[in-house]
Structure 1
Amino acid sequence: MPDLIHNLEAVQQRIALAAQVAGRDARSITLLAVSKTFPAEDVRAAYAAGQRAFGENYVQEAITKVTALADLRAALEWHFIGPLQSNKTRPVAENFDWVHSVDRLKIAQRLSEQRPDNLPPLNVCLQVNVSGEASKSGVSIPEAVEVAQEIAALPKLNLRGLMAIPEPAGSVEEQRAPHRQLRELFERLRNDGLELDTLSMGMSSDLEAAVLEGATIVRVGTAIFGARDYSN
């Protein structure tokens, strides 16, 4: 799949250039390839091109892919990044390495209860609604401090940091503003004693702004795999 290989290289170059502008080491930024709606064969091709971390939004589709790629399980890192309902937490707790979209304490509690004892702690991020959009999941910035402390105390979870999906904006400066809010909250939580190391922010259209504001994971789908077909 030459297009996929070219796309991966192009995105990695964008990350490297943004990191250079920010005075950061590009190796401190993880590219998460968002493979939702794309088949397991595309994930396998991306793996062959050197990609290791993959993000999924839909539980049943994701589990189908994890199963189809069981031969690569030790090499792949699976991240759940979509909205998560209470009745869908068990398969996520049992099959994923990361969950970025923990948007309330109840979800964290269920993931903690359902994480198998034989697996390492589940890495999680607290999703924050930095733009205050009614249609977006996530805790508000004022709520985040208390919720983060409660999640950090749960067994079998490792609270790694924060995630956000800001409202789309035009210029890089406009894009940077909500990412800056998330970074400032992240720094506040660290100052309060939480051992956080992850800022999951930035997608295909705004990854440069996110890197400039300190993103450690950027979630990129269409720029790697192409336009999505939701007809299925």
Structure 2
Amino acid sequence: MNSIVERLKEVRQQIESACNQHNRRPESVQLLAVSKTKPASAIRELYEVGQRHFGENYLQEALEKQQQLTDLDALVWHFIGPIQSNKTRDIAAHFAWVQSVDRSKIIRRLNEQRPAELPPLQVLIQVNIDDEQSKSGVAPDEVAALAAEIAAADRLTLRGLMTIPAAHASEAQQQQSFNAMQRLFSALSSQYESVDTLSMGMSQDITAAIGAGSTMVRVGTALFGARASKKE
């Protein structure tokens, strides 16, 4: 079985290959290592070979890891899970990015609770592009209103969009979803100068997502192996 460092090299090579295939620069795609349910030691191991951005779904688990890794100054933490109102204060205080914003109440709370001594919180709007009842996210036609709210908030910076397409879609259906997201992103980035991030694609669909314009891929299983189930 390959080590976590070897798997990181393989994922980076996959990103580079996908970029070359679609005439894109490899540095135009950011790798977010999704470390939910994995120990702080695994994050440290990837950090030591240059990985800096890490995504967490579960707040309490993430806070515990952050405490264990306080010596790693350059870590960039992304919250990527569903956001409950009673957790916004800790999310606002302990993360650099939030990728899963999907309603006005959360925007207001994150803005009010972001500590003044920290830089603005970098925010992505989660889009439920395939209209799945089981997933968080807004409908495409709701993006503009939320974007305006985020752009007007003084402690938040609107950076773009995030999506998780339907897991069982065919390749053609998946491509349609990716293309629809790219169109939404293109429209948003033409309206807001700060918008530069389309977080789209995971371990199983990196190449297709990059081909459709993703600027950030969220990779967990291909780096860390299968995850344990967890509830919070």
Q: TM-score w.r.t. structure 1 length?
A: 0.95
2:152 maps to amino acid: A
Map of 2:9 onto structure 1: 9
Aligned equivalent of 1:19 = 19
Q: What corresponds to 1:230 in structure 2?
A: 229
* Partner residue, 1:156: 155
- What's the counterpart of residue 85 of structure 1? 84
Cα pair distance change 1:81/1:161, threshold 3 Å: same
Structure 1, 188-197 or 140-149: larger mean CA deviation = 188-197
Contact 1:175 1:206 in 2 (8 A): no
Tell me if structure 2 keeps the 8 A contact 1:55–1:78: yes
Where structure 2 has 5 or more consecutive residues not aligned to the other structure, the ranges are none
In structure 1, the residue matched to 2:133 is: 134
Corresponding residue number in structure 2 for 1:209: 208
C-alpha distance in 2 between matches for 1:175 and 1:3: 30
Change (3 A) 1:33 1:193: closer
% same residue: 52
**Residue aligning to 1:39:** 39
Alpha-carbon contact 2:39-2:65 (below 8 Å) kept = yes
| C-alpha deviation, 1:174, in angstroms | 3.4
Normalising by structure 2, we get a TM-score of 0.95
- The offset of 1:172, in angstroms, is 4.2
Determine if contact 1:80/1:98 at 8 Å carries over to the other structure: yes
Ranges in structure 1 where 5+ consecutive residues have no aligned partner: none
The answer on whether the counterparts of 1:172 and 1:206 sit within 8 Å (CA) in structure 2 is no
CA distance in 2, matches of 1:119, 1:231: 30
| Residue equivalent to 2:95 | 96
Report the equivalent of 2:106.
Answer: 107
Could you tell me which amino acid in structure 1 is paired with residue 166 of structure 2?
Answer: E
Query: What CA distance in whole angstroms lies between the structure 2 residues aligned with 1:56 and 1:39?
Result: 12
Q: CA deviation at 1:173?
A: 3.9
Aligned to 2:147, the other structure's residue is in SS state helix
- Contact 2:18 / 2:210 at 8 angstroms: preserved in 1? yes
CA contact 1:32–1:54 (8 Å) conserved in 2 = yes
Q: Is the 8 A contact 2:56 2:80 kept in 1?
A: yes
Report the secondary structure of 1:71's partner residue: coil
The one-letter code of the counterpart of 1:38 is K
Q: CA deviation at 1:175?
A: 2.3
Amino acid at match of 1:228: R
Distance in 2 (alpha carbons) for counterparts of 1:118 and 1:70:
18
2:63 is aligned to: 63
Supply the AA of the counterpart residue of 1:229. A
**What's the secondary structure of 1:159's corresponding residue?**
strand
**Matched AA of 1:27:** E
Summarize the Cα distance change of 1:231–1:124 in structure 2 as closer, same or farther, 3 Å threshold.
closer
Contact residue 190 and residue 196 of structure 1 kept, 8 A:
yes
Is the contact made by 1:165 and 1:201 (CA closer than 8 Å) also made in structure 2?
yes
